[in-house]
Amino acid sequence: MEVILKEDVANLGHRGDVVKVADGYGRNFLLPRKLALQATLANKAVIEQMKSAATRRSATEKVQAEELVAKLEPLVLTFTRKSGENGQLFGSVTSVDIAGELETKGFEIDRRKIQLADPLKALGNFQVAIKLHREVTAHVKVKVIGDVTEEAPATEPAAAAERAAEEAVAE
């Protein structure tokens, strides 16, 4: 089946391309999600208009993405998580967490654009790529710090036991 892509599809093609795909992939995935049109004679005639509109739209999206990169680059996202002795986290920091933190800072970015191969499961500083456009990628600094546990309560029972022992000796 030949389809005309209405949006960029990873590992398939870019907006406006005519690609040949398996019938099931086209009927069950691309067409229902409105990612593509069936490549009929009428739709092929419209392709040139779509390509010119797509290049104009892509150019404006690229400019907007570059402006967003300028705002995202200086950001440092800090996450506090409980961790073990070796700096291993009990949980992890995922792309959903990063997208949520960006949203609290005023940036509406889809979690699927965050290029995180595996969730962050250790303490430290990381660079996370965010693909805003096919030609524009932002790199955000992510800092994962351990949850600060108070050691004072741990030492208080020992101090209280010492005081009780001293009082017992004094009596």
Q: How does 114-152 read in b/e, with b if 16+ C-beta sit within 10 Å?
A: bebeeebbebeeeebebebbeebebebebebeeeeeeee
How far is 52 from 58, CA to CA, in rounded Å?
10
Question: H-helix or E-strand containing 157?
Answer: helix 152-170
Mean pLDDT across the stretch 92-111?
A: 90
**154-166 residue pLDDT tens:** 445 555 555 555 5
The pLDDT score that the predictor gives to residue 143 is: 93
The CB density around residue 158, as the number of other CB atoms within 10 Å, is: 9
The average pLDDT across 48-76 equals 86
Between CA 31 and CA 6 the distance in angstroms is 10
All structural domains of the chain, each given as residue ranges with its CATH number in brackets, are 2-61 (3.40.5.10), 73-146 (3.10.430.100)
Of the ranges 64-68, 144-148, 153-157, the best mean pLDDT one: 64-68
Residue 52 three-state SS:
helix
Phi, psi dihedrals of residue 140, rounded to the nearest 5°: -110, 140
pLDDT for the residue numbered 98: 92
What is the separation, in whole angstroms, between the first and last Cα of the chain? Answer: 95
Tell me: pLDDT of 167 over 70.
no
